[in-house]
């Protein structure tokens, strides 16, 4: 099997490593990739959002399977174009990708499927903002306001705050730039990311993971694209995991089939485990970053064959997934000032060892690896338990040098200490 991966993050680096371990994968290419993925796959330049360019590259490489990492090409219909050209693709159609691309569509699908999620309201005029703020947050008996950019915002368009001025300012600045705002009821409880390989009504769940969205230790500071993750979740009861699959993901997959937009690819349920059970925070139409780096580190089943089964309609015959025992932890090394505009162009020392996945990296003219984005690297540690996996991840990150960089020191810590309860 000749596989082409589209994307340039540590998620794609993790996908490539797992694909490379599949004996049926003979050729591996990536576009556009980064300085780390260049070492394990043939690297090509592509505008990932251009269906025409991606199809042309897949043809040129004679790819049997294209795996699309990020949401933007999916929402733009790149998977549709590949399928129309007769090339198998792991990734949903433009219509099915609306589960991530349109919050209104996602809420509508969840309502029809009987799936619990936050109640919400769209505000599209500053004149309605103050009255709407009264219906959410502390005024409505909730600990905080949840104010979201109603467009794709790479996880950074969300402000969750008990401070009315902060909530109002975020909403007002979005409205001023002409973007509708989504206010949501606050969902309390530990978060779970559950990735499922889906083809139509067939759902194959992966290990549950937890992501750390805030930039600082103890969940301080603004939201980011994700600062770290671990898997599996020792505190998540097996029956709750099962109920997420059967009462949330399967009904949503069935509802998408019923609407004539069957989902084929990775359906990512982001949930809060509230005191009254799991509730959906959001669905994504792709693998999550950085959870993928931890989850795939434990996958024993052949990833290429799994993704190909979904892409070719044979997922129901694939059987149960096999996993390594133990735990995996990923910690993100971010550039100075991230999640604000990051400092870039600094030389990175120590980024070529085992367990180091690249994201915002490139090679300069001298061949040195330099930072080129906000989330620069993901390190992955594994071990017999979370504490051991954490030690390994932090030992790796301590051996890397990038001026001004920062990382969280508490990824997976509460779970390792047995301090998370549902
Ligand atoms: P999202 O981009 O929708 O995943 O939101 C980013 C983060 O904001 C989530 O991982 C949660 O930590 C938080 N968040 C989003 N929506 C809610 C909600 N309704 N209640 C509580 N926290 C939320
Ligand atoms: N881990 C968050 C995301 O991928 O959206």
CA–centroid distance, residue 326 to ligand 2 (Å): 23
Measure the CA–CA gap between 422 and 311, rounded to whole angstroms: 36
Q: Is residue 270 lining ligand 1, measured as CB closer than 6 Å? A: yes
CA–centroid distance, residue 8 to ligand 2 (Å): 15
0.85 surpassed by pTM: yes
CA–centroid distance, residue 13 to ligand 2 (Å): 15
Q: Is residue 80 lining ligand 2, measured as CB closer than 6 Å? A: no
Best of 288, 292, 294, 339 for a ligand 2 pocket test (most atoms within 8 Å of beta carbon)? 288
Which ligand 2 atom lies nearest to the CA of residue 11? 4
Residue 275 structure tokens: 């005191």
C-alpha distance from residue 137 to each of 28, 123, 134, 181, 408 (Å)? 49, 15, 7, 15, 28
Measure the CA–CA gap between 355 and 378, rounded to whole angstroms: 8
Contacts of 422 (CB under 8 A, 6+ apart): 189, 190, 235, 236, 237, 240, 273
Q: Are 41 and 6 in contact (CB under 8 A)?
A: no
Residue 60 structure tokens: 């040129």
Largest CA distance in the chain: 60
- The mean of the pLDDT values for the chain is 96
Q: Are 63 and 41 in contact (CB under 8 A)?
A: no
Best of 144, 281, 282 for a ligand 1 pocket test (most atoms within 8 Å of beta carbon)? 281
Residue 331's nearest CA partner among 310, 351, 356, 314 is 356
Any idea what the Cα angle at residue 339 is, between residues 338 and 345, rounded to 5°? Answer: 35
Q: Counting Cβ atoms within 10 Å, is residue 220 exposed (0-12), middle (13-18) or buried (19+)?
A: exposed
Q: Are 82 and 56 in contact (CB under 8 A)?
A: no
Would you write out the chain's pLDDT as a tens digit for each of its 422 residues?
999 999 999 999 999 999 999 999 999 999 999 999 999 999 999 999 999 999 999 999 999 999 999 999 999 999 999 999 999 999 999 999 999 998 889 999 999 999 999 999 999 999 999 999 999 999 888 999 999 988 776 555 789 999 999 999 999 999 998 988 999 999 999 999 999 999 999 999 999 999 999 999 999 999 999 999 999 999 999 999 999 999 999 999 999 999 999 999 999 999 999 999 999 999 999 999 999 999 999 999 999 999 999 999 999 999 999 999 999 999 999 999 999 999 999 999 999 999 999 999 999 999 999 999 999 999 999 999 999 999 999 999 999 999 999 999 999 999 999 999 99
CA–centroid distance, residue 410 to ligand 1 (Å): 19
Q: Is residue 288 lining ligand 2, measured as CB closer than 6 Å? A: yes
Measure the CA–CA gap between 127 and 131, rounded to whole angstroms: 8
Residue 101 structure tokens: 């691309």
Q: Counting Cβ atoms within 10 Å, is residue 33 exposed (0-12), middle (13-18) or buried (19+)?
A: buried
Q: Is residue 211 lining ligand 2, measured as CB closer than 6 Å? A: yes
Which ligand 1 atom lies nearest to the CA of residue 214? 12
Alpha helices in 278-325 (DSSP H): 291-296, 303-311
The bound ligand whose nearest atom lies closest to the alpha carbon of 210 is 2
Q: Which residues is 272 bridged to in the sheet?
A: 191, 279
């Amino acid at each position: 099997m000749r596989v082409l991966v589209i994307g340039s993050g540590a998620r794609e680096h993790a996908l490539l490593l797992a694909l490379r371990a599949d004996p049926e994968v003979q050729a591996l290419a990536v576009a556009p990739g980064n300085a780390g993925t260049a070492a394990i796959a043939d690297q090509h330049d592509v505008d990932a959002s251009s269906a025409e360019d991606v199809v042309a590259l897949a043809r040129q490489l004679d790819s049997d399977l294209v795996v699309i990492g990020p949401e933007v090409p999916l929402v733009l219909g790149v998977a549709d174009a590949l399928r129309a050209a007769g090339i198998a693709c792991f990734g949903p159609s433009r219509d099915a990708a609306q589960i991530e691309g349109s919050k209104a569509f996602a809420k509508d699908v969840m309502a029809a499927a009987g799936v619990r999620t936050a109640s919400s309201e769209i505000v599209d005029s500053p004149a309605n903002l103050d009255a709407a703020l009264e219906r959410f947050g502390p005024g409505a008996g909730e600990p905080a306001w949840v104010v979201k950019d109603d467009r794709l915002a790479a996880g950074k368009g969300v402000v969750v705050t008990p401070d009315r001025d902060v909530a109002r300012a975020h909403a007002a600045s979005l409205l001023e730039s002409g973007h509708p705002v989504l206010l949501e009821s606050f969902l309390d409880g530990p978060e779970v990311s559950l990735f499922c390989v889906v083809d139509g009504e067939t759902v194959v769940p992966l290990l549950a993971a937890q992501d750390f969205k805030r930039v600082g230790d103890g969940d301080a500071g603004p939201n980011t694209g994700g600062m770290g993750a671990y898997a599996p979740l020792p505190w998540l009861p097996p029956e709750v995991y099962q109920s997420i699959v059967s009462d949330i993901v399967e009904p949503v997959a069935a509802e998408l089939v019923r609407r004539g937009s069957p989902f084929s690819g990775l359906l990512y349920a982001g949930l809060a485990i509230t005191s009254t059970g799991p509730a959906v925070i959001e669905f994504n139409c792709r693998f999550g970053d950085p959870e993928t780096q931890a989850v795939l580190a434990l996958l024993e089943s052949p990833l290429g064959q799994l993704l190909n089964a979904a892409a070719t309609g044979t997922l129901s015959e694939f059987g149960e997934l096999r996993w390594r025992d133990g735990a995996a932890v990923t910690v993100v090394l971010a550039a100075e000032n991230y999640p604000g505009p990051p400092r870039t162009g600094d030389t990175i020392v120590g980024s070529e060892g085992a367990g180091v996945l690249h994201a915002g990296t490139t090679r300069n003219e001298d061949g040195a690896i330099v930072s080129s984005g906000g989330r620069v690297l993901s390190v992955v540690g594994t071990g017999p338990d979370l504490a051991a996996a954490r030690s390994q991840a932090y030992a790796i990150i301590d051996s890397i040098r990038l001026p001004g960089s920062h990382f969280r020191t508490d990824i997976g810590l509460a779970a390792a200490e047995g301090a998370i309860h549902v």
